[in-house]
Structure 1
Amino acid sequence: MPIIRLDGARVHYTDSGGDGRPVIFLHGGFGSSSELWQRTIDALPAGWRGLAIDNFLRSDAPPDGYNIAALARRVAAFIDRLGLVRPVVVGHSMGGVVTQMTAARYQDKLGGITLVCTGPSMTNHSLGRALLAQLESSDIDTMREISAHWFRVLPQPFFDGYVERAKAAPISAMIDVQASLIETDMRADLPDIALPALVVWGAHDAGRTMEHAQRLLDGLPNSRLAPMHDSGHSPMLETPEAFDSAFHAFLTSIPETNT
């Protein structure tokens, strides 16, 4: 499992290898990790290379601490360090907000973005605020209850491993990044992001509702919606065939560039 140094911090990532067009996958908050994306990486079509960054597990904290801006800088540094040409960046939940900020601040480095069950702000997101309060006032044993919110139907055996990895993540890191997420509002930045954008929405997502997806669609000038009608917050695992179909079609629609 490769580890590199970015801004003095050790950063772990997974890499499917090869010389295909790169796709960078970003996990969400609350102790999530690169394992969230392994099935999706394994299913990538020929000609694509999947890389997934770990932020809570196996990696050091960013020098400026756990916040959305620091994680976006980490993505930009990752692209430069590995010499990746116009990668597509895919972010789930909190990782989707990191993706938006990366696109807003480092647009010339990217080829496209995919935003999975996320939104540009936490307006009308009472669940995210309630879960932060729960994490702040409880011990790590509540992580199983918190993690269950991310799935309509718990995907076993993946879910048990997900909970154990989340328990191993630093609580302070999860709290800090969630607090930063609540403070972040990307709505004013969206119209300047001209990249091709796929917005994936789970019809049964209790936190990131269609209102959040619609804000992305209204703001991003080159966006399209991929509704996942039978999914909750994690369609890449709950309805993988529907997710792959929409995601692969989006990838093949992005023109290849060597500059």
Structure 2
Amino acid sequence: MTLLPAGRIVTLTDDVTTRLYDTGEEHLTPVILLHGMAATGMLNWYQTFQRLRGEYRLIAYDQRRHGMGHGGPFDFGALGEDVLRVSDHLELEKPVIGGYSMGGIVAQLAARRDPSRLGGLVLAATGTGAQRNALEKITMGSLTRGAPVLNAVPVEVAREIGDEVPSAYTWAMRELASVPLATHRTVITEVARFNSTSWLHELELPVAVVKTMRDIAFPRWIQDEMADLLPHSAVFPISAGHAACATHPGTFARRMRTAIGWVVSNSH
């Protein structure tokens, strides 16, 4: 844990602050990594940071109502604007945006807002939306009913942990406890509303899709639909489920390395 960059609090707008992590190598291609639901910036990406640090300038932050992301309304459009605000705050030139699950939806919206400001996207374990047929309605309903399980670490327990340098497990418990149950429900509602099928064809930038082959939240066909609609895309499959970043961290980091490299080489 001591090898990871320290987080710092930054102000994105008058009423929005967040905790941001930055490896800081200004000579390397910047990559902003967006976490998924029930996670925080570093909880979702710390194993990728460990493996890819020194190859790219890696940046992650807590999105609104996750971890130490505070203030402002919560909707995916606002989260997409925050991506560009982080880029402006760090004075980045055409960063690559990597998004996982919910973060992949936010990345799509950031690119739609102003694709000229980005070098490309890497979309992992995500898709064009959900709840558009019977299977997706069942899946989303199950996630809604099972949402309390996601917040399995009581905040009171996390507050009692006082390690000066916590173990990875202890730290992860703290991070999980920092995302309130109300946020899970809000995100699930937002995912159910989202549908990018009518405008993905407008995104004229390279997009790599890290396709989770055993995903239930975003089934393969919905990931394939996303790749097919994008004008400049490539698919990098991984034989794992929706939590690939945690269950297969080494394989997932290698896929991210290949996917980011493809985006960088095609952004020119």
Fold in common (TM above 0.5):
yes
Aligned AA (2:181): I
Task: State the superposition RMSD in angstroms.
Answer: 2.4
- Asked whether the 8 Å contact 1:14–1:34 carries over to 2, the reply is yes
Question: Displacement, 1:81?
Answer: 1.5
Q: Please report the TM-score for the alignment, with normalisation by the length of structure 1.
A: 0.83
- Asked whether the 8 Å contact 2:129–2:194 carries over to 1, the reply is yes
Aligned to 1:169: 179
The alignment covers a number of residue pairs equal to 240
1:2 and 1:210 map into 2 onto residues whose CA distance is 37
Question: Displacement, 1:4?
Answer: 1.1
Q: Please report the TM-score for the alignment, with normalisation by the length of structure 2.
A: 0.81
Alignment of 1:129 with 2:141, yes or no, is: yes
Query: Which of 228, 231, 248 is 1:239 aligned to?
Result: 248
Question: Displacement, 1:70?
Answer: 0.9
What SS class does the counterpart of residue 102 from structure 1 fall into?
helix
- Asked whether the 8 Å contact 1:31–1:174 carries over to 2, the reply is no
Cα gap change, 1:91 to 1:18, in 2 (>3 Å): same
- Asked whether the 8 Å contact 1:32–1:162 carries over to 2, the reply is no
Alignment of 1:219 with 2:229, yes or no, is: yes
Question: Displacement, 1:141?
Answer: 5.7
Cα gap change, 1:17 to 1:143, in 2 (>3 Å): same
1:175 and 1:228 map into 2 onto residues whose CA distance is 28
1:195 and 1:79 map into 2 onto residues whose CA distance is 17
- Asked whether the 8 Å contact 1:97–1:120 carries over to 2, the reply is yes
2:69 and 2:43 map into 1 onto residues whose CA distance is 14
2:205 and 2:25 map into 1 onto residues whose CA distance is 25
2:149 and 2:267 map into 1 onto residues whose CA distance is 47
Aligned to 1:210: 220
Aligned to 2:210: 200
Cα gap change, 1:216 to 1:2, in 2 (>3 Å): same
1:113 and 1:93 map into 2 onto residues whose CA distance is 13
Question: Displacement, 1:162?
Answer: 4.0
Cα gap change, 1:3 to 1:220, in 2 (>3 Å): same
Aligned to 1:250: 259
What SS class does the counterpart of residue 119 from structure 1 fall into?
coil
Aligned AA (1:6): L
Give identity over the alignment, percent.
24
- Asked whether the 8 Å contact 2:227–2:233 carries over to 1, the reply is yes
2:247 and 2:168 map into 1 onto residues whose CA distance is 11
Unaligned segments of structure 2, at least 5 residues: 1-6, 154-166
Cα gap change, 1:108 to 1:167, in 2 (>3 Å): same
Query: Which of 92, 98, 108 is 1:84 aligned to?
Result: 92
1:69 and 1:248 map into 2 onto residues whose CA distance is 28
Deviations 1:34-72 (A, max 9, x none): 2210111222264410001112111213x2x21111110
Query: Which of 5, 14, 22 is 2:21 aligned to?
Result: 14
Aligned AA (1:222): H
Unaligned segments of structure 1, at least 5 residues: 146-156
Alignment of 1:107 with 2:119, yes or no, is: no
Alignment of 1:28 with 2:36, yes or no, is: yes
Alignment of 1:70 with 2:78, yes or no, is: yes
Question: Displacement, 1:177?
Answer: 2.5
